[in-house]
Amino acid sequence: MTFAHAQNIELVQKEIDQNIWKPFKAAFESLDAEKLNSLYAEEVLRVTPNGIDTKNNFKKANIKRLTDHEKNKTDLQLDFWFDSRHTNETTSYEVGFYRMNLSNTDRVTSLYGQFHIVLKKSSGRWKIIQDWDTDSINGKDLSKQDFEKQRPIQFD
């Protein structure tokens, strides 16, 4: 890979950070399901340990989940980092680890997981077209120790 090509890929990834990841984190933390769902394409392949969703049912679940958090006065903090990113001008495959801290008057709960996301740029806009995540790898639950192998990404 040439230096110029590597620089271009870095610029594309910064564009993705500003157009997808920064708003993704903000939408989660502000419990804004509409904004969160707007970051996804019309047709999305969503895969979790619960199965495959090709009918965008996860978008309805996002609305319910974030509305429930709001009703329960739950604060949500999302942090994540990338383990790998393979990017060209129109497609990016991104793997990383996340931590969600959910807190309300009763308790603080931390959830950990790994994600694999495919992004596609179409008509000048990046969208998530595939979203896979899990809370365990090879039968082992992901933990604070797994997440703390790197520092969470910070946005400008």
Residue 92 has which token pair?
A: 């990016």
Under the banding of pLDDT at 50, 70 and 90, the label for residue 53 is very high
Regarding predicted confidence, which is higher, 120 or 3? 120
pTM above threshold 0.85: yes
Under the banding of pLDDT at 50, 70 and 90, the label for residue 4 is low
pLDDT over 90 (residue 155): no
Architecture of the CATH domain 3-147:
Roll (3.10)
pLDDT over 90 (residue 1): no
Q: Which of 1-15, 18-32, 45-59, 139-153 has the lowest mean pLDDT?
A: 1-15
Instruction: Tell me the three state secondary structure of residue 39.
Output: coil
Average pLDDT of the chain?
A: 95
- For residue 111, CA distances in Å to 9, 55, 63 come to 31, 26, 19
pLDDT over 90 (residue 7): no
Contact 127, 40 (CB under 8 A): yes
DSSP 59-77: HHHHHHHHHHHHHTT-EEE
pLDDT in tens, 62-106: 999 999 999 999 999 999 999 999 999 999 999 999 999 999 888
pLDDT over 90 (residue 132): yes
Listed by start position, the domains of the chain span: 3-147
The pLDDT value given to residue 88 = 95
Under the banding of pLDDT at 50, 70 and 90, the label for residue 121 is very high
pLDDT over 70 (residue 3): no
How far apart (Å, rounded) are the C-alpha atoms in residues 34 and 49?
24
